[in-house]
Amino acid sequence: MKIKQRPRWFISENDATPETVYHNRRKLLKQLGIAAATVPVASMAQGSLFNLFGDDEPAVDRRAALSPTKQQGDLPLTPEDKILSYNNFYEFGTDKTDPAERAQSFQYNPWQLTVGGLVNTPVTLDYDDLLKRFPLEERIYRLRCVEAWSMNIPWIGFPLASLIKMANPTSKARYVAFETLYDPEQMPGQVSRRLGGGIDYPYVEGLRLDEAMNPLTLLSVGLYGKTLAPQNGAPIRLVVPWKYGFKSIKSIVKITLTDTMPPTTWNLLAPQEYGFYANVNPYVDHPRWSQASERFIGEGSLFSSRRQLTLMFNGYEPEVAAMYKEMDLKRWY
């Protein structure tokens, strides 16, 4: 299925950052017959396909090809090498280059993701389920870090709402808590407080139930047509495009429906700087820097990147503003 009309979450931009690698791969996938819309996921033996893509591919990965069901147009994209090499994943160190360097041998198969708490039907999914259970979609989302940089990435995944519905929440459920894998043998930042940025692991995050059920909220299993690389949160991570990047928790093992607001890692670490909501808001500055604008990471050197104004709710205001209409967003930052 091809979407001709731009969905509302589509943000138009003027600067062109054509990602030729991506579109070439698209063509190739099509020629190989993998992009068939009727097949939710082409499950490939790892490593079988991307060798065919030639020199354009980064040397890094064991990622397998995914075949999303929807494809969206022409938002300027952040090149694939940037989303693979400029990351925040403190379990592997606090420098932007640490995750790509230290996470390459991260083992995420086998994997188990559980959904429990205030649900009628607890769910456990293993690695293959994560890739095959739900029809996958591709969505180009802007991800904006609280550190005031942003990227536009073609994510592949499925709405978190589909998984929550499968677990059949009880009427008492009000919030959704998320937890990243705790595995100090694999994650050096969980051993050394210095390396791990002083965080008490496991990394935890949370959403209100209505935020979790919002159709924009994606559980992602891939990007740029392939399964996630370890540094991006393999095998499954959240993408909540109207919130600061830290809400998009990586390498999730546990989802719990609760009746109370769950603790969140950055709020625990520095409550005066990071609230539970963390909605992107150019009018509420971080106590130590402005949130009015951001560096868009596109083609070229990271530090020559263009500054652009930050949009309310990261540009997703029409879809999400109604959820907060009674709230003082300066207080509930």
Ligand X SMILES: Nc1nc2c(c(=O)[nH]1)N[C@H]1C(S)=C(S)[C@@H](COP(=O)(O)O)O[C@H]1N2
Which residues form the interface with Mo ion (CB under 5 A)? 88, 145-146, 245-246
Q: How far is the CB of 88 from Mo ion (least distance, A)?
A: 5
- Which partner, Mo ion, ligand X, none, binds residue 227 by CB below 5 to 8 Å per kind? none
Residues 36-95 within binding reach of ligand X (CB under 6 A): 83, 87-91
Residue 279 touching ligand X (CB under 6 A): no
Instruction: Outline where DSSP puts E strands in the chain.
Output: 112-117, 123-126, 137-144, 149-159, 175-180, 204-208, 218-223, 226-227, 237-239, 252-258, 293-296, 306-309
Residue (121 or 290) nearer to ligand X, CB: 290
- Which partner, ligand X, Mo ion, none, binds residue 232 by CB below 5 to 8 Å per kind? ligand X
User: Among 67, 69, 180, 214, which residue interacts with ligand X (rule: CB under 6 A)?
Assistant: 180
- Which partner, ligand X, Mo ion, none, binds residue 28 by CB below 5 to 8 Å per kind? none
Residue 98 touching ligand X (CB under 6 A): no
Q: How far is the CB of 289 from Mo ion (least distance, A)?
A: 13
Q: In the 8-state DSSP scheme, what is residue 119?
A: B
- Which residue(s) pair with 279 in the sheet? 243
Residue 232 touching ligand X (CB under 6 A): yes
- Least Cα distance to 181 among 201, 209, 158 occurs for 201
- Which partner, Mo ion, ligand X, none, binds residue 203 by CB below 5 to 8 Å per kind? ligand X
Contacts (Cβ under 8 Å, ≥6 apart) of 281: 291, 312, 313, 329, 333
CB neighbour burial string for 229-248, b if at least 16 within 10 angstroms, e if fewer? bbbbbbbbbbbbbbbbbbbb
- Which partner, Mo ion, ligand X, none, binds residue 91 by CB below 5 to 8 Å per kind? ligand X
End-to-end CA distance of the chain: 38
Cis peptide before 235 (omega within 30 of 0): yes
Residue (169 or 180) nearer to ligand X, CB: 180
Could you give the CA distance from residue 174 to residue 167 in angstroms, rounded to a whole number? Answer: 14
Both tokens assigned to 34 = 């993998």
Per-residue x/- track, 201-220, ligand X (CB under 6 A): --x-----------------
User: Among 145, 163, 177, 255, which residue interacts with ligand X (rule: CB under 6 A)?
Assistant: 145
Residue (67 or 265) nearer to Mo ion, CB: 265
User: Which single residue is written with the structure tokens 């994510």?
Assistant: 155
Q: How far is the CB of 86 from ligand X (least distance, A)?
A: 7
Residue (200 or 259) nearer to ligand X, CB: 200
Q: Which stretch binds ligand X (CB under 6 A): 58-66, 130-138, 163-171, 245-253?
A: 245-253
- Least Cα distance to 233 among 326, 124, 140, 143 occurs for 143
Binding site for ligand X (CB under 6 A): 83, 87-91, 143, 145, 180, 203, 232, 245-246, 248-251
